[in-house]
Amino acid sequence: MATFELGRAMVRRDSGSALYAQIAEAMRLRILSGQWPIGHRLLPEPDLAVEIGVSRGTLRKAIAALIQDGLLSQLPGRGTFVTALPEPPPVAQRLSTLAEDVLSQGETLQTTVISCAAERCSPDVAGKLGIRPRAEVMRLIRVRRTSDGPIALLHNYVPTQLAPGIQTRDFATETLFGVLEGRYGLPITSARRAFRAEAATAEVAGALEVAEGTPVQHLEQLTFLADGRPVEYSDVWIDSGRVAIVLHLSRHDMGGTS
């Protein structure tokens, strides 16, 4: 029987599963294992098809499946890149900003802009936003605080190609989503979020006024337009001792089961 190995997955031509689906799963395992990190560029399609031993049409179907899942992105003339790590199955959640969530709890909110400038992005940020390495992005660093003290340090990245001149806006008084939607006509429709606990670094500890090494919540968010293009990536460190993170969830009708 004819087989070939891609990463840790053995793909079988005599399997009942479609060949492109097996290849897509093998690629997914490479991404999950870190063998293909975020920002990694795949071999050109002709070379990768030869390495695997399949037609380019079959390979393209596998790549298309992973693009649809948000794991890969293609840049014309540059190639195919790993965009993000696989996400757990999502739950229904209203997409709101941290500021909106805090204000909805009756808190007052103050924003301090630490820096806001156009710069060349890192390969990691480029891979997440699906743009070429060292493309220009706005990097916005802010601290949000309530009457109890600072609650969050935010690092936001927006491709300036989508929003020229955005780095000149006053984000001490304007919200990022409000500027993207109202000023640039870029309606935000969805996002992927991942939370994890981290020990506060010196930068995070200083911004949140806690001791270095204090546990904080790290939120990574990738925000999308209606056509599926990433428009904003953010790293947010939250002092959950000062603010509660509220998720608005809904449950579809499960046919009366309990």
What integer pLDDT is reported at residue 119 of this predicted model?
Answer: 96
Angle between helices 19-33 and 56-68 (to 10 degrees): 50
What integer pLDDT is reported at residue 206 of this predicted model?
Answer: 96
Q: How far apart are CA 138 and CA 135, in angstroms?
A: 10
Burial status of residue 29 (CB atoms within 10 A of its CB: 0-12, 13-18, 19 or more): middle
Beta bridge partners of 24: none
Of 78, 33, 80, 76, nearest to 60 by C-alpha is 80
Q: How far apart are CA 152 and CA 150, in angstroms?
A: 6
The dihedral formed by the CA atoms of 124, 86, 129 and 170, expressed in degrees to the nearest 10:
-90
- Cβ neighbors of 178 (< 8 A, separation 6 or more) are none
Token pair in block for residue 230: 């990433």
Of 98, 183, 85, 104, nearest to 145 by C-alpha is 98
What SS3 class is residue 101? helix
Instruction: Indicate yes or no: pTM above 0.85.
Output: no
Q: How far apart are CA 16 and CA 36, in angstroms?
A: 27
Q: How far apart are CA 142 and CA 137, in angstroms?
A: 16
Token pair in block for residue 4: 């070939």
71-77: long-range contacts, CB 8 A cutoff, minimum separation 24: 71/27, 71/28, 71/31, 72/27, 72/42, 73/127, 73/130, 75/130, 75/131, 75/132
Q: How far apart are CA 202 and CA 218, in angstroms?
A: 14
Structural domains for the chain: 3-82 (1.10.10.10), 98-238 (3.40.1410.10)
pLDDT in tens, 175-192: 898 899 999 999 888 888
Residues of the chain with pLDDT under 70: 1-17, 33, 84-108, 243-258
